[in-house]
Structure 1
Amino acid sequence: MGQLYYGNNPDPIVIEDRALAHLKVVVATKLRRNESFTLSWRHQGEDEPGRTTIWLHPSIPLRFVFAEPEAPELSAEWITAMAQSANSSGGIMLLDEHVDGV
């Protein structure tokens, strides 16, 4: 499992490595353009039911930490879907990957 460190909070947001790799591409693209947006996800596993949303801004420190040493092969479809949601008023909703034929 990967970890996303947001701001000065020492507690990471735990995200599966493959999803985090795709999210990193979209987030880096938006922040490189100096754009702000929200990122939301549903609580998984032992967490309380519900969801969390954070505001991402170029001035807020982010650090992506991956458990696996090798980067996964990226899905253009998943990146496109995340990028489209990032451009919506609701921001990025971190969803599971859905690929036709899998």
Structure 2
Amino acid sequence: MGTLTYDSTITAEFDDRTLTHLQVVIWSKLRRGEHFAFTFGDEAPPAQRTSVWCSPTIPMVFQFELAEPTELNTRWLELLTKSANSAAGLRAVPEPEAAS
């Protein structure tokens, strides 16, 4: 499991594969100076949901359990980017099958 730390105060765990894809989308938007909402949740009881405002001025740290980066699924990146560009903001949608 990898960890995303937002503004040194909020941490969330994601499997390394999901966290890698989220990192690519988040960094892409922040490099362009775009602000957006990111909502994520914990399915384990007690279930909870957290929403944060992502801005280039707010520090975010991505820590991975595995040293080697995972192969990227371009379809998933497209879905995550579409989510990040929506009014509801970025959400960790399930990974689709890779395009052939």
Are 2:93 and 1:67 equivalent residues in the alignment?
Answer: no
Aligned to 2:56: 58
TM-score by structure 2 length? Answer: 0.90
Query: Could you tell me the percent identity over the aligned residues?
Result: 36
Partner of 1:28: 27
Unaligned runs of 5+ in 1: none
CA contact (8 A) 2:79 2:93 kept: no
TM-score relative to the length of structure 1: 0.89
1:17-59: per-residue Cα shift (whole Å, max 9, x none)?
Answer: 000000000000000001110111232224x224221111110
Letter of the structure 2 residue corresponding to residue 12 of structure 1: T
- Report the 3-state secondary structure (helix = DSSP H, G, I; strand = E; otherwise coil) of the residue aligned with 1:12: strand
| Contact 1:41–1:95 (Cα < 8 Å) also in 2 | no
CA shift, 1:91, in A, is 0.6
Structure 2: 5+ residue runs without aligned partners?
A: none
- Residue type of the alignment partner of 1:32: R
**Counterpart amino acid of 2:18?**
A
Q: Which has the higher strand share?
A: 2
Shift of 1:16: 0.9
Any runs of at least 4 consecutive aligned residues in structure 1 with deviations exceeding 6 A, and if so which? none
